[in-house]
Chain A
Amino acid sequence: MKKLLALSGFFATLLFASSCKEEFDYVYYTPEDYSLISQHLNLPELPPKYTAQLPMHLSGTGLFAPEISTEEATLGRVLFYDKNLSSDKTINCASCHKQELGFADNKAVSPGVESRAGQRNAIALSSVANFAAYYGTDLNGSGAIPFFWDNRANTASQQNLETMANPVEMNMKPHEIKAAVEAQAYYKPLFKKAFGNEEITAQRISQALASFVNAMGSYQSRFDAAANAAFNNNQFGIDYHQQFLNLSTLENRGKALYMANCASCHSQNFGRPMKVYSNNGLDETTVDQGVGGITGFASQKGVFKVPTLRNIALTAPYMHDGRFKTLSEVIDHYSTGIKFHPNLGEELRQGNQPIKMQFSSEDKEALLAFFNTLTDDVFLQDERFSDPHK
């Protein structure tokens, strides 16, 4: 009987041990690592997730956001904002890709190290719904949309290696970047998290930066909310020509004009452009040959990437050379200013004549109002993409 008593005692202890409900502990950094990191960086104890959840009007058309490694993107965020990665320690990626400006720059041509001028306008990283989904990954190689105004890079890591090495941008050789990163103690735990050990290599740096850039994207604008609502109301997909309930009359009118005149290149849902590259009649003869400058094909001379237009109201100046200071100037260009270029996109020409869209002043106002619905404050204020350096 004594034994039974002892047994009951054991049960009682068990009951006591587990009756108080505790919360689970979710852990990420070790305490030592976190205190080191916290001296230099504002990173939360538990990292935010970076994989995008695209709304139906985008994912329903096959735009699919791949999983992004949280650890790599967290490291990439620190690198993106680190000025040590440039030769004179004055430039980081955000110098030309500013979050508040839709990750674009307000200068026609962004100055790089030692104020050297580049040749082109910084592309707004917020112009796409999701970088990884839009540009595709190595997985869907041939269908993927290449980077840069002239499409010269195929992957985000190829892109950022080129940017870092570019003498007028960051001007760093791979081994110099590596050394610059190694000099900062807080990178060790971040590399360990991202890659399993503390080894710092140029390849890992570019991979982490790529993960961060790939996580970027804008899909929570007012236009998206309205399109997604329309998608969900319709059983069989979405007709972008219909009036969207959540947009004003003026905005709807602008949408109609956009769908009629511009969507054939820039796309209806601002997911993936319909044309990867084209010429929109900026000049009769071009100096910067764009895609043709890389490939050498005559049919691609003066041809440039067709940008998607998300957050377009914030990313002035416009075009590859930043020639237009305002959206009104862009609209005026399409209205009456398209010039004939041998490679002018067929959507913008009738035979050898460039189209004049002849927008009325209300049309222009409506187009501007519509472009404003593409501004995505959620993304532009998203802390996950902000500067973590103290």
Chain B
Amino acid sequence: MKKFLFLLLSHLILVSCSQHYYYAPNTLHLPAVSQKGQISIEASLNGSSQIRGTEVRSAWMPAQNVSVMANLMYLSGSFEQTNFFVFPTPPTELHTGSGHLLELGLSKHFPLSNTNSVFSITSGAGLGRSINTFDKQRKAELNFSRYFVQPAFMSYGKMANVGVGFRFSYLNFYGGTIDYTINESDLYTIKNIEQKAHFLLPDVGFTAGVRFDPIEIRCNITLGLMPQPYQFGFSNHNLSISALTVLDAEQSNKKYTKRKISKKKKRK
């Protein structure tokens, strides 16, 4: 585990940027609430090969086995590029990119009897924007919306929790303002996006959390399964480390560790 953490961290630190991205997946939000009244709050540090950022994920279970979630992502990156193609003196240009996504989802949970595991299905929608700046403050701003359905499986243990989920998203670029003289290749990529406009994106996400109650530390990996994402300047992965806590609004005297689905089930 330590080794894995180390690898993940060094990946986050060593990454270098050299490309513009117009979309990046957020971390799959695998449910952390299991009892009515529970609220989970999770904050993560993200990185894909070129981008850093933070995410906040939160969920609330207003009725047993029904929960709502809200996910917020903010990513950014920058890189310097020496444009050797410019005549006569190749300038060094500063490029930046940032993006955000806010989404809401509704989940139904299906605890699996005799286990500490739960299957859930979530559907949701969100709005996002990516803003890339090129040299001379030229900008490309793309707006998108995204709808998703996400079946997921989560298993809770004494020391650790693990989960896996699939997310099927429908991504729709509904608008954009682009400075016409950004790099030729980026303009080409954006025109590719504009032409297609609607994308079906399958993602798979894994999470592994170690519990140091009342906090859980999770490592999350999200991988995009869309073929050739680079054609559209999409990032296809997202790695994050997050800290999560679950608050029990209704039974605030109960301890956090009372997330035992199976016991409750067995009692029935």
Q: Using a CB–CB distance below 8 Å, which chain A residues touch chain B? A: 3-4, 7, 10-11, 14-15, 17-28, 46-47, 49, 51, 66-71, 132, 137-139, 155, 157, 193, 196, 210-211, 214
Contact = CB atoms under 8 A, between A and B. Distances in A.
B161 interface: no
B104 A18 contact: no
Interface stretch (B3-11, B175-183, B223-231, B244-252): B175-183
B41 interface: no
Which secondary structure dominates chain B's binding surface? strand
Contacts of A51: 85, 184
A139 B88 contact: yes
27 contacts: A3-B62, A4-B68, A7-B104, A7-B106, A11-B147, A17-B145, A18-B127, A21-B197, A21-B198, A24-B142, A24-B176, A24-B177, A24-B190, A25-B176, A25-B177, A26-B180, A28-B179, A28-B181, A46-B180, A49-B184, A66-B87, A67-B86, A68-B87, A69-B86, A138-B89, A211-B87, A214-B87
B174 interface: yes
Interface of B: 62, 66, 68, 83-90, 104, 106, 124-127, 136-137, 142, 144-145, 147, 172-181, 184, 190, 194, 197-198
A14 B174 contact: no
A14 B87 contact: no
A21 B180 CA distance: 20
B106 A14 contact: no
Given A22-B175, A24-B175, A67 B87 contact: yes
Contacts of A28: 179-181
A11 B180 contact: no
A67 B142 CA distance: 26
Given A7-B68, A10-B104, A138 B174 contact: no
Contacts of B172: 18-19, 21
A73 to B, nearest CB: 10
A3 B62 CA distance: 9
A67 B181 CA distance: 12
A259 to B, nearest CB: 32
A24 B178 contact: yes
Contacts of B85: 51, 66-67
A14 B175 CA distance: 14
Contacts of A14: 125-127, 145
Contacts, number: 98
Contacts of B136: 196
Contacts of B175: 22, 24-25
The 10 closest A-B pairs by CB, nearest first: A67-B85, A18-B145, A24-B176, A138-B88, A18-B174, A28-B180, A66-B87, A26-B180, A137-B87, A14-B125
Contact of B181 (A24, A47, A196): A47
Contacts of B198: 21
Given A20-B174, A196-B136, A214-B87, 16 more contacts: A11-B124, A11-B125, A11-B147, A14-B127, A14-B145, A15-B125, A17-B127, A18-B172, A19-B172, A24-B142, A24-B177, A47-B181, A66-B86, A67-B83, A67-B86, A139-B87
Contact of A70 (B127, B137, B178, B181): B181
Contacts of B176: 24-25
A25 B139 CA distance: 12
B88 A155 contact: yes
A27 B177 CA distance: 7
Contacts of A196: 136-137
